[in-house]
Amino acid sequence: MASEPPETSQGSADPFVESLMDTDLYSMGAYFCDQHPDLVEEVVERSSEIEGSGLSAYAVAAGIDVEEAFGLLLTGLSVRYYKAVAG
């Protein structure tokens, strides 16, 4: 379901878009969206906050370690990548 390639106006999948789907970032995003649909908006929002404030500053403000903040950032980026490619 989540990994079906988008179709072009001619009805077949675009080879370039298909190549974008063959990445670890895409797979991570698809998995997270499938397994945790209720957390998608939150993780995207938190990753945007990390981008805005910086990794270390966000970690200190949130009371978490930098590794956890990085995980949030990476998850949010992968979800946004997946949603951008899959539509």
Q: Let me know if residue 2 belongs to a domain.
A: no
Q: Residue 82: pLDDT band by 50, 70, 90 thresholds?
A: very high
* Separation of alpha carbons 29 and 60, rounded Å: 26
Number of domains in the chain: 1
Per-residue burial over 40-74, b = 16 or more CB atoms within 10 Å of its CB, e = otherwise:
beebbebbebbeeeeeeebbeeeeeeeeebeebbe
Whole-structure pTM over 0.85, yes or no? no
Residue 6 belongs to a domain: no
What's the pLDDT at 12? 54
pLDDT at 6 over 70: no
pLDDT digits 0-9 by tens, 42-74: 999 999 999 999 999 999 999 999 999 999 999
pLDDT class of 35 with cuts at 50, 70, 90: very high
Domain that holds residue 59: 15-86
